[in-house]
Amino acid sequence: MPIEGAIKELGVFELLQLLSFTQKSGKLKIMSPFGKVIKIFYFKNGSLSYVDLKETILDNLERSGKITKEDRDEFDGDNFPENIINKGILSREDFINMVRKYSEDAVYSIFKIKDGTFIFEECTVNTPFDIDLGYKIENLIMEGARRIDEMVKISSMIPSYNIVLEISSEIEEKKYVHLTPKEWMLLSHINGEYSIEDIIKISGDEFDTVKTLYGMMMAGLVKKKAVKNTKEKVEEHKWENVIDDFYEKGNYKEGIDYLIELGKKEPENPAIPYQLGFFYLKMGKFKMAISQWSEFLTRSPTGNKAKYVSELVEALRKVEKLIIRRDEVKNG
């Protein structure tokens, strides 16, 4: 019998502890509030054995120029590992190394998820090329908790991954700068155009990248790019001005339609579900507002906006419970 439920009722930490304690073997799916599969994990006797990293690996191969965006369609299906190797794009050893490199980060990324659903199915686990990571859940949880604590500190300076960085004038004036290989690599991508999110995608490593950038900002080597002049800013955020106009005039239905269409063009933009939540709230559609804000938190889990939205979601859920109590009192 599958184990399934809502993450807000049984958090990811508690879920993994349960699988470890009961020494379960099987497949765990983590899904967004909309039912989109975020990650799939495989367990053997309570230890993490394998992580489905198809999208992560394809992103890496596309960035490195080994495949094109159009090539990705060729790798649909469960036989992705064999296909990528049979086509000569990766060797078997390269594939295994990539799985080991990105698996832990995949686990740590789901610790930030506060809403969504999960389903665990007990089954015999057969992994590609008999890969068995053998990661102990207790160790992953301890490291995950440490990373979350560090990200809280880092979010004071990096509240959003949309921030664009530039090299400070101080480093340009120095004749010699001592940097680690990681810092030199990241510095090469700080051009006043790439956002932190862009740099993370290039490096393929979220936590270490953000942590290193935070250190470079603290040291004064890089800084947030100055705000563009008013004309450029208005042009760049033109759609937000349109949304503000809908909102102020009470044209909530039109605003929702506009944002939904915009979401088709920018499916990963966290600002869209953020704005949609307020429009649905104004129309009294609490569940839709909660759903949109939960999606926003999945895409942008840190910073002042995330904290504010979490408070809004919690408040709306309390209101929903009070409304249910009203119906119970009426019928009692």
**What residue has token string 């006043």?**
192
pLDDT confidence of residue 274: 92
Task: Determine which of 53-62, 198-207, 280-289 has the lowest per-residue pLDDT on average.
Answer: 198-207
Confidence bin at 238 (pLDDT 50/70/90): low
Length of the chain: 332
Sign of the CA dihedral running 143, 50, 8, 159: positive
In whole angstroms, what is the distance from residue 64 CA to residue 229 CA? Answer: 35
The model's pLDDT over 124-135, given as tens digits with 9 standing for 90+, comes to 999 999 999 999
In whole angstroms, what is the distance from residue 315 CA to residue 323 CA? Answer: 13
Confidence bin at 172 (pLDDT 50/70/90): low
Top-confidence residue, 292 or 174 = 292
Q: Check whether 41 has a pLDDT greater than 90.
A: yes
**What residue has token string 């051009």?**
191
Give me the chain's average pLDDT, please: 85
Nearest in space to 292 (alpha carbons), one of 323, 263, 332: 263
Confidence bin at 210 (pLDDT 50/70/90): very high
DSSP class per residue in 127-142: -GGG----B-HHHHHH
Mean of the pLDDT values across residues 59-87? 84
pLDDT confidence of residue 227: 52
Residue 229 dihedral angles phi and psi, to the nearest 5°: -65, 165
Percent of residues, the chain, with pLDDT higher than 70:
90
pLDDT confidence of residue 59: 84
Distances (CA, A) of 224 to 162, 164, 179, 191, 211: 11, 6, 19, 11, 15
Q: Check whether 272 has a pLDDT greater than 60.
A: yes
